[in-house]
């Protein structure tokens, strides 16, 4: 543990000194103003320790990281039926791409590209109003993070709605194919609000514990999902969690991870740790530059890659 604390501290110090940080997402106007010079990291281990460094307690917009939690909830609601409406394959395309949808009859490649997450939001609306679906998302995240303070940033949700022309196109396209079963504005209302949830690295690392510890909040602790479900969600994070940068992330880091354009990444070292990193500057795929680098260093120093023998 002393070793882990030293490694995390060294990584935070090194990241603070880095000049090359990528660019902050600007297509969502509310995110464009987030100062780029921030870096946070939180690591939680099976014994319940939470190691923090840098800006680990500063809330940021989790954006696409929310797709991990909505996938968990939708699988809980409709189970494997979900896989009739969304695939499990890497897309090799940008997160907001529309090109595959026509060839593949409106069925998105995976639940982490925007089209897939919008289809998951639609599934969550079965038998529920948008307000209820959003309530269940917040309740779930508060439960798994053990923090009632997690909330949605209405300004970010509104900002995205006002400029979300591509997501609106994706949703209409899927609705035309019958993949979406609810009104497009209801589905997008859920999707924009889930993306606008604000969390710190500390809260996010805690929220990821059930994926790191076989579906439980701690080894032998309260169960959130079955071991098999946790393993499958982590598999999709590894293959699809960084969009068309997923191969590169697996190559460099070797851990299941999910990125968001707010600059956060949730990564899972199965049985060993749940890790959240945040730095708002992004690479061309929309993944945090310093977040990816920090995870690369951490996985190497701790020998946490899932491919380490
Ligand atoms: O729909 C969008 O474009 C954003 N709300 C989420 C995209 C995102 O986070 C992509 N991740 N790196």
259 touches ligand 1 (CB under 6 Å)? yes
Ligand 1 site, residue 288, Cβ cutoff 6 A: no
Same domain assignment for residues 142 and 209: no
Choice among 24, 43, 64, 279 that is catalytic: 64
Full residue range of the structural domain in which residue 268 is found? 2-61+199-302
53 and 103 housed in the same domain: no
204 plus 186 within the same structural domain? no
pTM of the model: 0.98
Ligand 1 atom closest to 259 (CA): 12
Q: What is the pLDDT of residue 1?
A: 61
Q: How many domains does the chain fold into?
A: 2
Can you tell me which atom of ligand 1 is nearest the CA of 167?
Answer: 1
Contact between residue 249 and residue 291 where contact means Cβ atoms under 8 Å apart: no
Decide if 253 is inside a domain: yes
Residues 57 and 204 in one domain: yes
**What tokens does 174 get?**
């899927």
Q: Is the CB–ligand 1 distance for residue 292 below 6 Å?
A: no
pLDDT of amino acid 4: 97
Asked which of 144, 177, 195 is the last residue of a domain, the reply is 195
Contact 275, 266 (CB under 8 A): yes
pLDDT at 143: 98
What is the per-residue pLDDT for 182?
98
Query: What are the φ/ψ torsions at residue 257 (nearest 5 degrees)?
Result: -150, 155
Q: Choose the catalytic residue: 179, 191, 272, 289.
A: 191
Q: Do 87 and 173 belong together in one domain?
A: yes
Q: Which residue has the tokens 């959003």?
A: 134
Same domain, 15 and 39: yes
16 and 74 fall within a common domain: no
End position of a domain, from candidates 169, 195, 221? 195
168 ligand 1 Cβ < 6 A: no
Give the SS3 label for residue 205: helix
Q: How far is the CA of 13 from the centre of ligand 1 (A)?
A: 28
Question: Same domain for 82 and 186?
Answer: yes
Q: Is residue 307 part of a domain?
A: no
Q: Are residues 70 and 184 in the same domain?
A: yes
* Residue that terminates a domain, selected from 140, 161, 195: 195
Which of 30, 67, 161, 258 is the catalytic position? Answer: 67
Q: Which atom of ligand 1 is nearest to the CA of 64?
A: 9
Q: Is 64 a catalytic residue?
A: yes
Which residues of the chain, if any, have pLDDT below 50?
none
Pocket of ligand 1, candidates 65, 93, 97, 114: which has the most ligand atoms within 8 Å of its Cβ, to mutate? 114
Both 207 and 285 in one domain: the answer is yes
Query: Do 104 and 170 belong to one domain?
Result: yes
195 in contact with ligand 1, CB cutoff 6 A: yes
Predicted pLDDT at 237: 98
Domain of 266: which CATH number?
3.40.710.10
Q: What are phi and psi of 155, to 5 degrees?
A: -65, -40
210 is catalytic: no
88 lies in some domain: yes
Predicted pLDDT at 288: 98
Residue 286 three-state SS: coil
pLDDT tens, position by position, 19-66: 999 999 999 999 999 999 999 999 999 999 999 999 999 999 999 999
The verdict on 171 and 208 lying in the same domain is no
Rounded Cα distance between 195 and 258, Å, is 13
Active site annotation includes 173:
no
**308 within a domain of the structure (yes/no):** no
Q: Rounded to an integer, what distance in angstroms lies between the CA atom of residue 199 and that of residue 160?
A: 18
Question: Residue 309's pLDDT is what?
Answer: 77
Atom 12, ligand 1: residue with shortest CA distance: 260
């Amino acid at each position: 543990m002393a070793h882990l604390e030293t490694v995390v501290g060294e990584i935070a110090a090194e990241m603070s000194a880095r000049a090359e940080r990528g660019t902050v997402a600007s297509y969502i106007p509310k995110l464009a103003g987030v100062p780029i010079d921030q870096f946070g990291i939180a690591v939680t281990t099976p014994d319940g320790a939470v190691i923090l460094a840098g800006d680990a307690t500063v809330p940021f917009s989790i954006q696409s990281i929310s797709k991990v939690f909505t996938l968990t909830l939708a699988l809980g609601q409709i189970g494997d039926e979900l896989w009739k409406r969304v695939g499990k394959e890497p897309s090799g395309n940008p997160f907001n791409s529309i090109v595959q949808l026509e060839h593949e009859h409106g069925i998105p490649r995976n639940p982490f590209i925007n089209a897939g997450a919008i289809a998951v939001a639609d599934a969550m609306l079965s038998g529920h109003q948008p307000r209820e679906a959003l309530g269940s998302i917040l309740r779930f995240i508060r439960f798994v993070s053990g923090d009632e303070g997690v909330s949605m940033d209405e300004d970010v949700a509104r900002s995205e709605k006002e400029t979300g022309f591509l997501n609106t196109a994706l949703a209409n396209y899927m609705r035309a194919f019958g993949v979406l079963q609810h009104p497009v504005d209801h589905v997008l209302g859920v999707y924009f609000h889930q993306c606008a949830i604000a969390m710190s690295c500390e809260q996010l690392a805690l929220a990821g514990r059930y994926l790191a510890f076989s579906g439980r909040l701690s080894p032998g602790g309260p169960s959130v999902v079955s071991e098999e479900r946790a393993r499958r969600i982590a598999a999709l994070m590894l293959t699809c969690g960084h969009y068309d940068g997923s191969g590169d992330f697996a190559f460099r880091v070797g851990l299941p991870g999910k990125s968001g354009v707010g600059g956060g990444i949730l990564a899972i070292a199965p049985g060993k740790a749940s890790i959240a990193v945040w730095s708002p500057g992004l690479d061309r795929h929309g993944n945090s530059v310093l977040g990816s680098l920090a995870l690369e260093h951490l996985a190497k120093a701790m020998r946490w890659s899932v491919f380490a023998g």
